[in-house]
Amino acid sequence: MKHAVRELVIGTRGSKLALWQAEWVHARLRQLEPGLLVSLKQIKTTGDKMLDTPLATIGGKGLFVKEIEDALLRGEIDLAVHSMKDVPTRLPDGLEILSIPEREDPRDVLISRDGVMLDRLAVGARIGTSSLRRQAQLLHVRPDLSIHMLRGNLDTRLRKLEAGEYDGIILAAAGLRRLGWADRVTEYLSPDVCLPAIGQGALALEGRADDAFVRELAGRMEHRPTRLAVTAERALLERLEGGCQVPIAAHATIESDRLSMSALVAGVNGRRLIRDAIHGSVDEAHRLGVRLAELLLEHGGGEILREIYGTAT
């Protein structure tokens, strides 16, 4: 008996990078299941609509995923492709991260107008970023820099740099590499200088928990070491209850059966920065993330968070 051909609809944001990521998943699905009909549905999110406002002042979580998750829950799409760093640690009932493919380079990069490295930028150089995490870490090592808001898609940000609005901009390496723009990078920033965002460089394939067909198909793209690293990072973020308003960073790496993770909490101006690290078995990824969060809180991170939130942590 011949089964009816199922069409799978992927939901994605409409930016050049988001579409690249969705197309990459599309291509992988067609490789895994050659007869499958796959289409893309572009969905505009709150974060896409509010491009003139700093993310930290918009507040809330899920600015770049909520409308896509709503479409999943309504059955309008079958699979969502997100940048993992945009996905809140708590998902709506009925949805799950079905698969996390292998991570791209998680580092941040500097692109400067004149090809000048971070430590050689002129005093008072104008640096563009929309991230308080990046702002705090840059000001920690270069308090003389002048940090200014930079929103918009990757190509928009690069145009603003080329137009002379900034002396340099800070971006994620992963997006530039995916779009084939790695040749524009002036400097890859060491995690010792600029620790990445939680989940940076990883994709999240989100679907309905009860959709066995999509779960099995997406599961074939799973990369276990990336899943374990991201699990530890997101456990830390959930314990700290962090969002866009707080400079929190973490990066976990896997070697054999060992997990190592560094993380930090910083004040917005970068003067206070609490950093710590933890090591352990990959089987304890979630517990290690929670424990590292608690170490940060104990060593001064709790005080920073209380000042930023105005409430007890």
**Domain of residue 139, CATH code:** 3.40.190.10
Cα(162)–Cα(166) distance, integer angstroms: 8
For the stretch 261-311, pLDDT in tens is 999 999 999 999 999 999 999 999 999 999 999 999 999 999 999 888 774
Q: Packing angle between helix 154-162 and helix 16-32, nearest 10 degrees?
A: 140
Give catalytic status of residue 86 as yes or no: yes
Do 214 and 137 fall within a single domain? no
Cα(105)–Cα(87) distance, integer angstroms: 18
Q: Are 103 and 232 in contact (CB under 8 A)?
A: no
Cα(132)–Cα(135) distance, integer angstroms: 5
For the stretch 95-126, pLDDT in tens is 999 999 999 999 999 999 999 999 999 999 99
For the stretch 185-220, pLDDT in tens is 999 999 999 999 999 999 999 999 999 999 999 999
| CATH at 241 | 3.30.160.40
Instruction: Please list, residue by residue across 188-224, b when 16 or more beta carbons sit within 10 angstroms of its beta carbon and e when fewer do.
Output: ebebebbbbbbbbbbbbbbbbeebeebbebbeebebe
**What's the total number of domains in the chain?**
3
243: confidence class by pLDDT, cuts 50, 70, 90: low
From first CA to last CA, the distance across the chain in angstroms is 59
Determine the average pLDDT of the residues in 128-150.
Answer: 96
Active-site position among 52, 70, 86, 167: 86
Whether 227 is covered by a domain: the verdict is no
Do 237 and 271 fall within a single domain? yes
* Residue at 69: amino acid letter: E
* Main-chain dihedrals φ then ψ at residue 299, nearest 5 degrees: -90, 10
Residue 313 confidence (pLDDT): 40
Whether 301 is covered by a domain: the verdict is yes
Picking from 129, 183, 132, the residue whose alpha carbon sits closest to that of residue 160 is 129
Check whether 1 has a pLDDT greater than 50.
Answer: no
Residue 312 confidence (pLDDT): 39
Range of the domain at 269: 233-309
Do 98 and 118 fall within a single domain? no
Which of 188, 213, 244 is the endpoint of a domain? 188
